[in-house]
Structures are given as C-alpha cells and as structure tokens.
Amino acid sequence: MKNIFLVLSFLLSVSLFSQTTTETIHSTKLDTDREITIKLPASYTTNLEKKYPLILVLDSEYLFSPFEGNLAYGTYWEDMPEVILVGINQNKNHERDSDSEFDEESGLPIKKGGAFFEFIGAELLPYLDKKYRIAPFKVVAGLDSTAGLINAFLYKEASQFNGYISLSPELAAGMETRVAERLAAIKEPLFYYHATSDGDLKRFQKEIKILDKNITAVKNPMLKYKFDDFKNASHYSLVLHAIPSALYQIFAVYQPISTVEYQEKIAILPNEHAAYLVDKYNTIEKWFGIKMKVRLNDFKAIEAAILKSGDFKGFEELAQISGQQYEKTMLFDYHMGMYYEKTNNLKRAILSYQNAFTKEEIGDLTKNMMLEKSEDLKKLIPVKPKGLKGGKAKEIIEETPATETPVETPTETPTEEKKP
C-alpha cells in the first residue's frame, strides 16, 4: 500500500510539474513588462543532466495550445523529443500589430517592431538560456505578421534559431528574395518550413509562392526545406494542418526507423547497415543536442537488413554498439552469436548464446531463447566416427553457461560520423 502511494505521489508530482505556467518579465528594449507561457517536459525534474530543445511560439494565445497538443502526441510515440515550449502572449492591447511593424521601404523591423525583435534576441533568449536547461537547438514559429517578423532573424550574420515555422507569412518588402539569399548562405543545418492554402488571404499567397520558388532554387545541403499549399483550408484552419507537418519535418531523423525509412534507405544498402545506425544517432546528437541510446526496434530493423543482404559482419559491428550501450544485457552476446552462427563458426556461436544466459533479458531476447539457439546449434556439429585416429564420439560443448565472453565487450561507441 505504501509503495502504491509513493508511485501515485510521484506521478502526480510529475503531472503537476509539467503543467503550463506563466511568467512576467521586464523588457528594457520595450520599456514594459511582457508575459510568457512556459511548459517544461515531465522529465525535467527527474533527469537533471538533460538539456531540451526550445520551441518559441509567438501569438501564444492561440498558437501555444495546438503546438502543445502536437508535441505531446509526437513525444508519446517517440516521434519527437521532449522540448521546452515557450509562448509570447501578444493579444493584450493588440500588441501583435505593433510588435510586427516593418519599414515599407527597407523591409526591416522598425519602432516597436524593432524593439520587440531585439527583446526576443537580446533579452528573452538569454533569460531562458540562463534559467532553464535549454539545448543549442531552437525553433521559432509565428502566423501572418509574426511569421513575417521571425524571418528577420535570418538577416543576422548568425541565426539565433535552427528552425523556422512560418505560417502564412505576411512578407515585408523584399523578403521573398532576401530570405532565399540568406538560406543559400547558411553554413550550419537549418530547417525552414512555411505554408499557405487555397483559402489563404490573396494578398499573402502570391508573395509566399514566389518565396517558395526562390527557396526551391537554393542548392545548399545545409538547408532542410519544406513548403505546403493546403487545399480546402482557410487562413486560420491551415494552422492545424501545418503544425504537425512542420514538426514532423524538423524531427524526421529523430523518429524511430519506420517501414518507409527501412525500405527506401536501409534495405537497399549492400553493406554498412550498422554505420547507417551510428550516423542516424550521431545526427540526432549533432542537430538537436540529444544523446540517446539506440532504440531496440531500430536494432531489429538493422538486423533484418543484415539478414536480407547477407552482410553478416554487420552483426559484429552492431555488437560494438549494443555492448557499450546495453552492457548488462544479453544483446551484445546475441549479436556476436548471430555473427558467428551466420559465418559458420558454430562453436563460438554456441559459447556466445550460452554466455548470454548469464545476462539480463532485454526486449524479446530471453534466457530460454538463448538456450534453445545453443542446443539447436549443437545438433549441427558433425559427429566423428568412433575409433578413428584422434576421433571422439562427439565434440563436447559445455551445457552450463560459459563464464567468459568470446569477444570483449566494447567500452566505446564507434566515433565515425558522416555528414547528415
């Protein structure tokens, strides 16, 4: 009963901690107080070493909730990482209009628009970095006039954001060409998403599509670009289509290996399947600042590709990963056993499967499974006829689990990293 109470108390505390909170901070740039809404991940208090990507949403009054819902859904299925979600409230006294003021000739933020732009870059982001455990990866999002404002951050020599979600942007003078020029010059990975619809405001659609044409012409491998033109959607309803599309585009590499990824990228490889896995997780760490263990289902996808291709050395390469990340489990010995079995070194395969019996079960790997594989392989070892010189009735393999691994468990993960 006491244990149940402790579990319930823990779950309640996590739930309460992940509730939305509101803060008021003073801006010297704006010479006023501004209100922000913050949602921290449920694991924020339990994993004190972890840092989280930031998603900053303008027009928080009506954009915060749809972002929150989509992120909660994506995180549940491990399609998206946990993030720190922050919204800037702007509807009070119609602040969003003056917050997004641009000069009609230069196309740059001016007056209060310039001050709000500086508030975000020079005050809010440093404040959040200092107070919360934020990873280097930051995304900013806005709708129409605020979507136009966020594009101005691309004009800086070094962008403060790694991802842009521009929903039906109201583009300032020259922005349809200037944004594309800036994206062509980036030297670090950057995600850019924007959207319109057939029911969008006509005065926006023309410039948005010109911007899409200009960005499409950019040949920069650092740019991760997507444009959506939704059908049967209005200026406001397109938001509900665009947010999940944008988030799934940005966090595509973070997602577990899907059937599509397996068929289009992995199954077609003649070899180096384990290297693909290493590259995927190195990219996640490089882009999002998230270091994580390889998911068990991702191991299974690579195992299937190795069996299909016949490049069995891949099992030995997988063992270098699983032995370091899941050292107390039987995963390393299973991978080594598969390597020896498929390369017809049956004795060492048997020893690996027997050694796995002494380790912790993991996923669908069980002690019974390891013993069964060991016994099945024993039956495949030829029996030498009795009486021949040097012969024995049969090769004896210890039936009790081995106490030594045939290959030492690795202590480091492969460090070779390819460009994403």
The predicted-structure confidence for 306-329, as pLDDT tens digits, reads as follows: 999 999 999 999 999 999 999 999
User: Is the pLDDT reported for residue 269 higher than 80?
Assistant: yes
**Domain-embedded: residue 362:** yes
* Range 293-308 average pLDDT: 98
Same domain, 340 and 206: no
Q: What mean pLDDT value characterizes the chain?
A: 89
Q: Which residues contact 390 (CB under 8 A, 6 or more apart)?
A: none
165 shares a domain with 314: no
> Is the Cα torsion angle 39, 196, 148, 151 positive or negative in sign?
positive
Distance between CA atoms of residues 351 and 274, nearest Å: 23
pLDDT band for 95, please (50, 70, 90 cuts): confident
Domain membership of residue 83 as a residue range = 2-254
Smallest CA-to-CA distance from 142 within 175, 168, 172 is with 168
Residues 29 and 178 in one domain: yes
pLDDT of residue 395: 45
Classify residue 350: in a domain, yes or no.
Answer: yes
Domain end marker among 229, 254, 279: 254
Structure-token match 């702007």, residue found: 90
Beta strands in 200-308 (DSSP E): 223-234
Q: How many domains does the chain have?
A: 2
228 forms bridges with which residues in the sheet? 195
Q: Categorize the per-residue pLDDT at 7 as very low, low, confident or very high, splitting at 50, 70 and 90.
A: very low
184-223: pLDDT as tens digits: 999 999 999 999 999 999 999 999 999 999 999 999 999 9
Task: With cut-offs at 50, 70 and 90, classify the pLDDT of residue 40.
Answer: very high
Reply yes or no on whether the pLDDT at 167 is more than 70.
Answer: yes
- Rounded Cα–Cα distance for residues 113 and 57 (Å): 16
381 band by pLDDT with thresholds 50, 70 and 90: confident
User: Is 277 part of a structural domain of the chain?
Assistant: yes
Q: What is the pLDDT of residue 9?
A: 42
pLDDT tier at 382 (50, 70, 90 boundaries)? confident
Based on the fold, state whether residues 198 and 325 are members of the same structural domain.
Answer: no
| C-alpha to C-alpha distance for 193 and 251, rounded to whole angstroms | 12
Does residue 420 lie within any of the structural domains? no
Q: Where are the alpha helices (DSSP H) in 222-295?
A: 238-250, 259-261, 273-288
CA-to-CA separations, 361 to 97, 113, 316, 323, 369, in angstroms, rounded: 59, 59, 20, 14, 10
- The domain that contains 361 carries what CATH number? 1.25.40.10
Q: Are residues 72 and 151 in the same domain?
A: yes
Lowest mean pLDDT among 22-26, 131-135, 158-162, 400-404: 400-404
Using CA atoms, how far residue 399 sits from 73, 155, 370, in Å, is: 48, 69, 12
| Residue 297 vs residue 3, higher pLDDT | 297
The answer to whether 350 and 378 are in contact (CB under 8 A) is yes
Q: Are residues 245 and 264 in the same domain?
A: no
